[in-house]
Structure 1
Amino acid sequence: MSTKRRRSRGNPAKPLKQSGPGRPSSTSPGSTSRSTSRSTSRPARPPATGGAISGFGFGSLGGVEIPPPSGVLYPQLLRREGEPRRLAIGRALIGIAVALSLYFLLVSVVSQGVVMLSWTITSPTLSYADYSKAALAFRLPAGMLGTNLGIACLIPITFAAMMVVHQVRPRWLGSIRPRIRWSYLFVSLGIAAVSLAAVFALSTLAGPAAQLKPQPNFWVFMIIILLTSPLQAAGEEYLFRGYLLQAFGSMVKNPWFGVLVSSVVFAAFHGLQNPPLFLDRLAFGILAAILVMKTGGLEAGIGAHVINNVYAFGLAGLTSSIAQSRALTSIGWLDALFDVGGFALFAVLAYLAARLLKLRNRTV
């Protein structure tokens, strides 16, 4: 079984209609005095204008929430009815810059903090520089733990961007419900576990056989993988298929703009890679983003991302080394074909499952 073909998708180098601004009141000329008195007995809803930073409408954590428009797809949740395009683009670019800056900062701080704590407890007599280099290359379990926890910080980072920059509750990142639809998430995990395992088996038959030879500290790595890979995968999905998809989607009317641009950013963030590996990751990003748009939430992408990373790192630890999988920068075209085929199969099955569950993909 060759682990060269397997690589992780992580560790890169989703209300009722409300009356409001731009929406007509539900009161008609023929309304009775009773309905009129009922409507006037409540205080008027304040205009959702937010703060006053250069007209971009920034607010605070306790500011007025601006609800998404009705009848829109997931990539369009941050669009504001009647807003000038330049303001929409300006707000989105500032939010993206803030989110990515915090990403680079927190991943480094958290990962280094975990590694330093591990070094202090387990190997204080060794050089910290050498220990840190080995750990962050995933030759030591502390490096994987720190990196995964650092990437998991993308979840609160995207929450903060939604609240502060856009004045939208972060629950709209989960799905258009707006929340994570847990039943569909667990269904997606099951579909990914079966479909990706089948493709892994087929790719094994097409390549040279590999011997089972667990690496040192394999079980420690596996515990970390099982406990933190879901957080790491969810963090990446919340950023790339969640916030970035919505932020880029708020710039133009066509939702496909957000799908394509966020996918290119996702692939590029994985660092140095040859063309087949870049296209492999780009295809995963596009398929995951299409699933978000077609199903109305992040659940399918999270499910596929979690299972892929568990399989990739688990198989690497059994046959070569997790550090080797971490350092992967090139693959062949046949390997990329198997990968893309596996994710395409998962995408079709996950979409059919969403149809069977009668999940909507537009706001009400």
Structure 2
Amino acid sequence: MKDFISIAAQEGSFKKWKYILPPLGFLGLMAINYLAIQLLQVDVGQVMQQEVAKKGANRVVLESLIPFVVFLGLLFLWVKLVHKQTLKSLTTTRKKIDWKRILFSFFMISVFTVVMTFIDYKSNPENYLYNFNTEKFTILFVIAIILVPIQTSFEEYFFRGYLMQGLGLTFKNRWLPFLVTSLMFGLMHLGNPEVGKLGPIIMVYYIGTGLFLGLITLMDEGMELALGFHAGNNLTGILLVTANWTAFQSDSILKDMAEPEAGLDILLPVIIIYPIFTFIMAKMYNWKNWKQKLFGRVYDSSSQEKITTISES
């Protein structure tokens, strides 16, 4: 099987300069947004609460997600028209996109989140407000089921697909794109209200999540597991439980009323839950050659080097 990074050069037109504009555009917008928040000393959480009070939660959610439709569309057009690369080669090394992998990781994180939330709700009912409203939740469900996968897919295609392949082909290694895309994914969330509420420590969670998603992408030679996991995580979250200090303040089933603490809740996923998920996936999909897949060299046809087969389907 072809490896995930070099497939971009084999099935597309690889030129280093082609990878410059999309990161400059999207990450530039994120940087400007963050600088504006810092310079103007904006309380993002408070602003969002005011917007929800004025417009309603569903409209705020819709307005927050719509830009990602544009971002994903522009990224796909750039890859197709400029890189001459197929969507399949941006996604996976398999003969076709493996939807079973996407659904497996989607339901794994979704079921886990629902079960853990239920346990916590039963153990600490005083921390939650039952918020279910049939009409509002139905509208939220329609918005979320369509747009949240688009939002998460853009982030995955941009970081774990486009940048992972571009940086890997440019620097001819795997460790640098693995670490850099994870760091950039974490820093993208600096403008979230959670950062203002909990402090910089929450970046451990965001960067750790980026490392986990990068690891399963490289080890599985494709983005399917990352696509499903990210979509399941965000979709379950926005529908099941939100709070007035989170990035999405929706008409979810539950509202978390507890005062957040920057402690074990942040570290637990990174040091315990993600390793368990990684172990399950590794056993299920028979991952091998960990050192090569995560830290080995990258060979591409443009450098006249032989492409090394490092995995089995």
Same fold, judged at TM 0.5 (above): yes
Selected match of 1:153 from 63, 67, 70: 70
User: Partners of 2:58 and 2:125 in 1: how far apart?
Assistant: 28
Distance 1:307 1:95, change over 3 A: closer
Q: Which residue of 1 aligns with 2:204?
A: 279
Selected match of 2:19 from 76, 85, 92: 92
Q: Which residue of 1 aligns with 2:233?
A: 308
Q: Which residue of 2 aligns with 1:116?
A: none
User: Partners of 2:71 and 2:310 in 1: how far apart?
Assistant: 24
Q: Which residue of 1 aligns with 2:79?
A: 162
Q: Shift in Å at residue 266 of structure 1? A: 1.0
Q: Shift in Å at residue 214 of structure 1? A: 0.2
Q: Which residue of 2 aligns with 1:333?
A: 263
Q: Shift in Å at residue 219 of structure 1? A: 3.9
Identity in percent: 19
User: Partners of 2:138 and 2:72 in 1: how far apart?
Assistant: 27
Residues 152, 234 of structure 1: 8 Å contact kept: no
Residues 295, 361 of structure 1: 8 Å contact kept: no
Q: Which residue of 2 aligns with 1:230?
A: 149
User: Partners of 1:180 and 1:138 in 2: how far apart?
Assistant: 39
Rg comparison, structure with higher value: 1
Q: Shift in Å at residue 146 of structure 1? A: 3.0
Q: Which residue of 2 aligns with 1:249?
A: 168
Residues 136, 143 of structure 1: 8 Å contact kept: no
Moved more, 144-153 or 298-307: 144-153
Q: Secondary structure at the match of 2:20?
A: helix
Please show how residues 72-151 of structure 1 align to structure 2 within 5 Å.
73-79=3-9, 89-98=16-25, 100=27, 134=51, 139-151=56-68
Q: Shift in Å at residue 335 of structure 1? A: 1.1
Please show how residues 184-203 of structure 1 align to structure 2 within 5 Å.
184-200=101-117
Residues 174, 298 of structure 1: 8 Å contact kept: yes
Q: Secondary structure at the match of 1:270?
A: helix
Q: Which residue of 1 aligns with 2:245?
A: 324
Residues 121, 128 of structure 2: 8 Å contact kept: no
Residues 293, 361 of structure 1: 8 Å contact kept: no
Residues 187, 203 of structure 2: 8 Å contact kept: yes
Q: Secondary structure at the match of 2:160?
A: helix
Q: Residue 221 in 1 paired to residue 140 in 2?
A: yes
User: Partners of 2:310 and 2:70 in 1: how far apart?
Assistant: 27
Distance 1:137 1:326, change over 3 A: farther
Q: Secondary structure at the match of 1:212?
A: strand
Distance 1:95 1:210, change over 3 A: closer
Q: Shift in Å at residue 296 of structure 1? A: 1.4
User: Partners of 1:333 and 1:206 in 2: how far apart?
Assistant: 19
User: Partners of 1:266 and 1:316 in 2: how far apart?
Assistant: 23
Gaps of 5+ in 2: 31-46, 250-259, 288-308
Amino acid at match of 1:158: L
User: Partners of 1:201 and 1:226 in 2: how far apart?
Assistant: 21
User: Partners of 1:259 and 1:268 in 2: how far apart?
Assistant: 15
Amino acid at match of 2:284: A
Q: What TM-score do you get using the length of structure 1 for normalisation?
A: 0.59
Q: Which residue of 1 aligns with 2:275?
A: 344
Amino acid at match of 2:17: G
User: Partners of 1:346 and 1:138 in 2: how far apart?
Assistant: 39
Selected match of 2:219 from 291, 294, 297: 294
How many pairs are equivalent? 257
The structure whose residues are more often helix, as a share, is 2
Selected match of 2:99 from 176, 179, 182: 182
User: Partners of 1:316 and 1:291 in 2: how far apart?
Assistant: 26
Residues 158, 170 of structure 1: 8 Å contact kept: no
User: Partners of 2:95 and 2:280 in 1: how far apart?
Assistant: 23
Amino acid at match of 2:277: F
User: Partners of 2:16 and 2:53 in 1: how far apart?
Assistant: 36
Q: Secondary structure at the match of 2:189?
A: coil
Q: What TM-score do you get using the length of structure 2 for normalisation?
A: 0.67
Q: Shift in Å at residue 132 of structure 1? A: 12
User: Partners of 2:81 and 2:312 in 1: how far apart?
Assistant: 22
Summarize deviations over 1:283-304 as a string: whole Å, max 9, x none: 1111101101111111111211
Moved more, 346-355 or 195-204: 195-204
Q: Secondary structure at the match of 1:326?
A: coil
